[in-house]
Amino acid sequence: MKNFKDKVVVITGAGSGMGRAYALAFAALGSRLALNDYDNQGLAETVKQVSQQSPATRVHAQTFDVSKRADMELFAADVKEAIGPAHVIINNAGIEGAGKPVWAIPPQAYERIFQINFFGVLHGTQVFLPQLLENGEGAIVNVSSIFGLIGTPNSTDYSATKFAVRGFSESLMVELMDSPISVHLVHPGGIATNIARAAHTKAFSDNYLTTSPEDIVRHVIKSIGKGRRRIVYGNGALKAHLGALFVPLKLLNRIIWQDMKSVINVSDYPPGG
């Protein structure tokens, strides 16, 4: 897709960060917006900013948890009735991990992050795909991470979900390759959003999350127009991508540990670990 004017763009996790930046960018292009977030206050602020920037933009916003399939189905039906069938779905909603090694993370924490980070993407894709096909054109944009390219310490939960999004999206690309629907897989690097809110991620956030949401959103929208399937962008993204492609895994693991050990919480590791 190259022209987004009057197209219906669905954005999950639109209450802050990249989601809000997507909303403002697509509004400036003349799109109609269907916005979701779990945070009602954040979502309301996004709607306010969109209306201030682009007063003519038609916006439909609903607050719900993307892990709830029934709520996503209701959202899709309401979007179609309110502003028309979707042309673009940006599966952006996500949460951070526990920031601990695998032995210190309870099973229910893995279940919860998978419900949001992976099943939220699955629900958004399956529920809105019929609307994209109905329009005879469309784009599915699934947000993974550079942690979906490489594994890092204290992120077995988060990284597992982002590798899952990657595998799902790459398979989906093959399934839809002869359709009018394009699939785009985004691997953001260190983007300055509030996903890293917990105290244990402050050092990581201060050192790595430096690329603005507006920068990556501009890049993603251009990449959709150019038909790029894999979109790697942001602080550290190219290094991670090249490392995953060309560096032997044993050496890559050592490099990653040396790079990360000063910005992660190592309190759960044994002495000398």
pLDDT greater at residue 1 or residue 184: 184
pLDDT of residue 237: 83
**Phi (first) and psi of residue 61, to 5 degrees:** -125, 135
CATH code for the domain of 196 = 3.40.50.720
Q: In the prediction, which pLDDT does 205 show?
A: 58
Q: Within a domain: residue 16?
A: yes
Query: CA 224, 227, 232, 238: dihedral to nearest 10 degrees?
Result: -140
* Residue 252 falls inside a structural domain: yes
C-alpha 214: how far from chain center: 14
Specify if 273 maps to a domain.
no
Count up the domains in the chain and report the number. Answer: 1
pTM for the structure as a whole: 0.92
Q: What is the pLDDT of residue 262?
A: 85
Q: What is the pLDDT of residue 199?
A: 55
Residue 58 backbone phi and psi in degrees, to 5: -85, 125
Convert the pLDDT of each residue in 219-266 to its tens digit.
Answer: 999 999 999 999 998 887 888 899 999 999 999 999 999 988 888 888
Residue 91 pLDDT more than 80?
yes
Reported as a single tens digit per residue, the pLDDT across 152-195 is: 999 999 999 999 999 999 999 999 999 999 999 999 987 776 65
Is 38 contained in some domain?
yes
Question: Is 270 within the bounds of a domain?
Answer: no
- Model confidence over 194-227: pLDDT tens digits? 655 555 555 555 566 668 899 999 999 999 999 9
Is 267 within the bounds of a domain?
no
Average pLDDT (47-51) is 98
- Decide if 268 is inside a domain: no
Domain that holds residue 206: 8-260
Give the other-Cβ count within 10 Å of 47's Cβ: 20
Per-residue 3-state assignment (H helix, E strand, C coil) for the chain:
CCCCCCCEEEECCCCCHHHHHHHHHHHHCCCEEEEEECCHHHHHHHHHHHHHHCCCCCEEEEECCCCCHHHHHHHHHHHHHHHCCCCEEEECCCCCCCCCCHHHCCHHHHHHHHHHHCHHHHHHHHHHHHHHHHHCCEEEEEECCHHHCCCCCCCHHHHHHHHHHHHHHHHHHHHCCCCCEEEEEEEECEECCCCCCCHHHHHHHHHHCCECHHHHHHHHHHHHHHCCCEEEECECHHHHHHHHHHCCHHHHHHHHHHHHCCCCCCCCCCCCC
Start-to-end Cα distance in the chain = 50
Active site residues: 158
Query: What local confidence, expressed as pLDDT, does residue 202 receive?
Result: 57
In the numeric block, which tokens belong to residue 202? Answer: 């402050």
> Residue 231: inside a domain, yes or no?
yes
Is 153 within 8 Å of 264 (Cβ atoms)?
A: yes
